[in-house]
A and B are shown apart, each in its own frame.
Chain A
Amino acid sequence: AQKVTQAQTEISVVEKEDVTLDCVYETRDTTYYLFWYKQPPSGELVFLIRRNSFDEQNEISGRYSWNFQKSTSSFNFTITASQVVDSAVYFCALSEAYSGTYKYIFGTGTRLKVLA
Chain B
Amino acid sequence: DGGITQSPKYLFRKEGQNVTLSCEQNLNHDAMYWYRQDPGQGLRLIYYSQIVNDFQKGDIAEGYSVSREKKESFPLTVTSAQKNPTAFYLCASSMQGNIQYFGAGTRLSVL
Contacts and interface: CB of A to CB of B under 8 A. Distances in A.
A102 B104 contact: no
A1 B58 CA distance: 16
B42 interface: yes
A108 B42 CA distance: 4
Q: How large is the interface on B (under 10, 10 to 19, 20 to 34, 35 or more residues)?
A: 20 to 34
B41 interface: yes
Contacts of B45: 103-104
Contacts, number: 50
A45 B90 contact: yes
Interface string B16-50: 00000000000000010100000011111100101
A37 B45 CA distance: 16
B2 interface: no
B1 to A, nearest CB: 14
B104 A9 contact: no
B51 to A, nearest CB: 11
Question: SS class of chain B's interface: helix, strand, loop or mixed?
Answer: strand
A104 B90 CA distance: 13
Question: SS class of chain A's interface: helix, strand, loop or mixed?
Answer: loop
Interface string A9-42: 1000000000000000000000000010100001
Interface in B88-111: 88, 90, 92, 94, 96-105, 107
Interface of B: 31, 33, 40-45, 48, 50, 56, 58, 88, 90, 92, 94, 96-105, 107
**Nearest 6 A-B pairs (CB), nearest first?**
A45-B102, A108-B42, A106-B42, A43-B105, A106-B43, A44-B104
12 contacts: A9-B40, A42-B104, A43-B105, A44-B104, A45-B43, A45-B102, A47-B100, A100-B97, A102-B31, A104-B100, A106-B42, A109-B42
